[in-house]
Amino acid sequence: MDTIDRKILEYVQQKGRDTYAEIGAAVGLSVSAINERLKKLERAGIIRGWGARVDPKAVGHGVLAFMFMLIDRPENEKRLVDAVCALPQVLECHHVTGDWSYLLKLRLADVSEIETVLSDTIKQYPGAIRTHTVLALSSRKETAAIPCPVPA
């Protein structure tokens, strides 16, 4: 991946719906060169997909929660984590260091939905011995954009 690829990645993360001509003008390439570069970045798995960023509140998922989950033994981990990851409320699932096994990011319609996630999924499988949920009161920054700085 070269400097131009990094510039393209920075640009399309902010303006992914722009035309190839607009992207090309921003990074100094022709339409055909942009087309080829984007295809190459997709084939390499660097660009994982394209999509819209949706306002969670506008679609009824205004509650943001983070849940720490502790799993007792490795043999209980796969089934439980697979079930948790299948939940539409779970946006992210991270295996973490420290006192917890996993950190989950959830988007919910209301606070009571946390109980549903706990009782209908997490408590249905052996292994989760403790959880700790933190509600976000507000969010100053929330992005999926990955910095792709051009090396100096």
Same domain, 23 and 90: no
Same domain, 7 and 72: no
Q: Which domain holds residue 103?
A: 57-135
Query: In this structure, what DSSP letter does residue 122 have?
Result: G
Cα(65)–Cα(4) distance, rounded to whole angstroms?
Answer: 37
Residue 116: pLDDT above 80? yes
Q: What is the tens place of the pLDDT at every residue in 38-55?
A: 999 999 999 999 988 999
Q: How many domains does the chain have?
A: 2
pTM across the whole model: 0.86
Same domain, 38 and 105: no
Cα(43)–Cα(1) distance, rounded to whole angstroms?
Answer: 13
Residue 150: pLDDT above 90? no
Walk across the sheet containing 128-135 and list its strands.
90-95, 102-108, 63-71, 128-135
Same domain, 32 and 76: no
In 10 A of CB 104, how many CB atoms?
A: 23
